[in-house]
Amino acid sequence: MRIPHRHFDGKTLTQIYDELYELADGIIKKYNPCKFSNGRCAGGIGCCNGCRYLFSTGCSVKALACKLWICWNLEGTLPECEHELKELSEIAAQYGFLDLCDSRIGRRESKGEVLRRIHR
C-alpha cells in the first residue's frame, strides 16, 4: 500500500482517524495475524485482556493504535503485514493519534479520547 502524498490534505482529524482505522482494519482482515481459535490468539498474550473496552462481542471502540499494533510474538512472522501497518502508523503518528516511541500512547483509547488528548 502506498498512500499518495498529500492524500489527507484538507480532511479533518476525525475523517483522517476514521480513514486510517478502516485501512488498518482492512490490513488485519487481509493478513489475519492474530489467528484466533477457540478464544486464543497466535501470539498467546491476549493483548486485549483486562481492557475496559473489551466486551464479549469484542472491542467496543475504534482504537486505531490497537489496530496498528502487533505483539512481539508476531514480529517477523508477517513482514508485508508489518510493513503496511508501519506505513499507516507513521501517518497516524504525524497527526498525534499514537506515538512511535511509546506504544502505550493511543492504545486502549477510544477515538474520542484520542481526539480530546490531541486538542488538550
Does the protein bind ligand SF4 through residue 53 (CB under 6 A)?
yes
Q: Is 59 in the site for ligand SF4 (CB under 6 A)?
A: yes
105 binds ligand SF4, rule: CB under 6 A:
no
The CB-of-31 to ligand SF4 minimum distance in angstroms stands at 11
Candidates 24, 28, 70, 91; binder of ligand SF4 (CB under 6 A) is 70
Query: Smallest distance, Å, CB 1 to ligand SF4?
Result: 20
Q: Measured between alpha carbons, how far is 20 from 3 in angstroms, rounded to an integer? A: 10
Number of residues that this document lists for the chain? 120
> What whole-number distance in Å separates Cα of residue 71 and Cα of residue 52?
19
CA dist 101 to 29, 86, 93, 115, Å?
26, 13, 10, 19
Show the cell assigned to 10. Answer: 484538507
Of 21, 82, 85, 108, the residue at the interface with ligand SF4 (CB under 6 A) is: 108
As a whole number of Å, the end-to-end CA separation of the chain is 32
93 binds ligand SF4 (CB under 6 A): no
Using CB atoms within 10 Å of the CB of residue 85, give its burial: 0 to 12 exposed, 13 to 18 middle, 19+ buried. buried
Give the nearer residue to ligand SF4 in terms of CB position, either 45 or 100: 45
Binding site for ligand SF4 (CB under 6 A): 34, 41-43, 45-48, 51, 53-54, 59, 61, 63, 66, 70-71, 73-74, 107-108
